[in-house]
Each structure stands twice: as C-alpha cells, then as structure tokens.
Structure 1
Amino acid sequence: MTIRMAQESDIPELAQLYQETVLAIAPHYYSDEQTHSWASFAADGVRFREFILSGTTFVATDETGILGFAGIADDGHITSAYVRRDRIHQGIGSTLMQTLLDYAKNHRIERLYAEASEFSLGLFKKYGFHVYDTEIVERQGVEFKRYLVERGVIKKD
C-alpha cells in the first residue's frame, strides 16, 4: 500500500469510492433516507471536488486502485476518512489516520477535530479522540446525528 496526495484526476474514483462505501455501510447505522441523502453528495461534482482539494487529502492505493482517503484542513479539521467498502477492517483507515496525525505534528497543528459518523467514531476513538458534543445537521431535508470529536497533537521536537 502506498500513501500519496490526492490529485484532480482522482476525483471520479474518490467519488465512486465515497458513494459505494456509504451505500454499503451506512444502512447498518442509518435509515434508507439518511443513507441515500449522504451518498448523493458524491454526485455534486463541484462540491465534491472542493471537499477533496480544499485541504490536504491523502489517498491510499495498491495494485487494485484507490483503497481509501482522508483529508485535513490547515486548522486541524479532519474533513474526511473513507475506506473502500471491500477493504474495511484491513488497517487502511488506521494507516490514513496515522498519516493525518503525522501531518498535524509536522505542521505544528495543535488540535485536531472532526464530525464523526456512527461508523467512523470507533476509528477516531482508537486514535485518542474524545467526544465533546453531538450535533444534528440537515442534508437535503434529512437530519443526521454527528459526534464532535477532538484531540491534541504531540508537539514536534
């Protein structure tokens, strides 16, 4: 597995990975309406492109293609953490999360924070994030509960 920076040319494959993963995993935690509303974000080309390219997004790849991606903004906001539906629970999410933590340390970002879904919360907790609040957000008229998580970063020597 290789980790690299996302490129403009990755966006179609990242959108497909995002949509397929949400459609496969979300039904275990969310209603059909919530699942389809969430997955539909990948079809919004302009917003999805911004989602990937506005911060620093890392992509995990191997000979089969893109395995997952995770993004971080300059202020420490973790914008994404997705693993291809057929490769979940194989260490890819952990590798990407460690990449984000290393990036934050190297760029002296002192606080990381995110809005975790029901199915990403475990990954965040595994890496020392704690829930400090919850929120209800609306997407296309559908409400979602998200967990607001944060953690500090060990300072670089």
Structure 2
Amino acid sequence: MNIRLDEESDLAELAALYQHTVLQHGPQHYSLVQTQTWASFAENLDLFRHFIFDATTYVATDETGIVGFAGIEINGHIRSTYVRGDRLHQGIGSMLLQALLDDAAAKPVTRLYAEASEFSLGLFQKFGFRLYDTEAVDFNGVAFTRYLVEYLAEGSVER
C-alpha cells in the first residue's frame, strides 16, 4: 500500500471510485434517491475537480490502482474520506485518516472537523473524533442528515 498526494491524472479514477462506492454501499444506510443523488456529484467533473484539488488530498494505491482518498483543507476541515467499495474494512480508511492527522500536526491546526456520513462516522470515532451535533442539508432537492465531528489537538480549548 502506498499513500501519496493526488495528481491531476487521478481525477477520473477518483470520480469513478467515489461514485461506485456510494452506489454500492449507499443503499445500506440511505434511500435509493439519496444514494443516486449523492453519487451524481461525481458526474460534474468541474465540481469534483474542486472537491479534490482545493484541498490537500492523499491517495491510497496498490497493485490494483487507487483504493481510496482523503482530503483536508488548510483550516482543518476534512473534506473527504472514501475507500473503494471492494476494499472497505481493510485498514485503508484508517491509513488515510492517519495521513490527514499527520498533515494537520505539521501545521498550526488545533481542530479538525468533518461532516460524517453513516459510512464514515465509525472511522472518525475510532480516531478520537467526537460527535458534537447533526445537521440537515439539502443536495439537489434531497434531504440528508450529516454527523458533525471534531478532533481537538492536545492543548486546544474544547467548545
């Protein structure tokens, strides 16, 4: 397994991974309409490009290609954590989240935060993120509930 920074040439493969994973595993936690709406985000490559490249995005690869990715913004917002559907529960998400924690530790970031899905909530909690709220959001006319999680670096003041 290799963890590296994203490259422009990764975009199509990252979009396909995102869409496939959501379509494959979304129905376990979300309605068909929610799953299809969520997956459709990857079809707009201009928006998806910003999603990936407007953050520091780490990519996990092995001999089969890209198996996951995770991105973090300069302010500590974790923008993405996705693992290829056939590689879930193999430690890839943990490796990627650790890369984000290491990235933040090298910068003056004292709080990391994310809007977790049913998919990723357990991963964040495994790494010591705490659930502090939920929010209802609308994406293309479809309602979603997201879990607001945060991780406070040592010495930070809790909210």
Per the alignment, residue 66 of structure 1 pairs with 66
2-side partners of 1:154 and 1:69: how far apart?
26
Runs of 4+ in 1 over 6 A off after TM superposition: none
Q: Does 1:20 find its partner at 2:13?
A: no
Q: What's the secondary structure of 1:17's corresponding residue? A: helix
| Residue identity in the other structure for 1:122 | G
| Residue identity in the other structure for 1:121 | L
Give me the identity figure in percent.
Answer: 61
2-side partners of 1:108 and 1:89: how far apart?
31
- Residue correspondence of structure 1 range 76-155 to structure 2 within 5 A: 76-154=76-154
Q: Which consecutive residues of structure 2, in runs of 5 or more, have no partner in the other structure?
A: none
Q: Aligned-pair distance for 1:152?
A: 1.1
What TM-score does the superposition give when structure 1 sets the normalisation length? 0.97
Q: What's the secondary structure of 2:59's corresponding residue? A: strand
Q: Which consecutive residues of structure 1, in runs of 5 or more, have no partner in the other structure?
A: none
Q: Does 1:41 find its partner at 2:52?
A: no
| Residue identity in the other structure for 2:105 | K
| Residue identity in the other structure for 1:79 | R
Q: What is the alpha-carbon root mean square deviation over aligned residues?
A: 0.8
- Cα distance per residue 1:42-76 (max 9 Å; x no partner): 00111000000001000000110001000000000
Assess if the C-alpha contact under 8 Å between 1:105 and 1:154 holds in 2. Answer: no
Q: Aligned pair count? A: 155
Assess if the C-alpha contact under 8 Å between 1:101 and 1:153 holds in 2. Answer: no
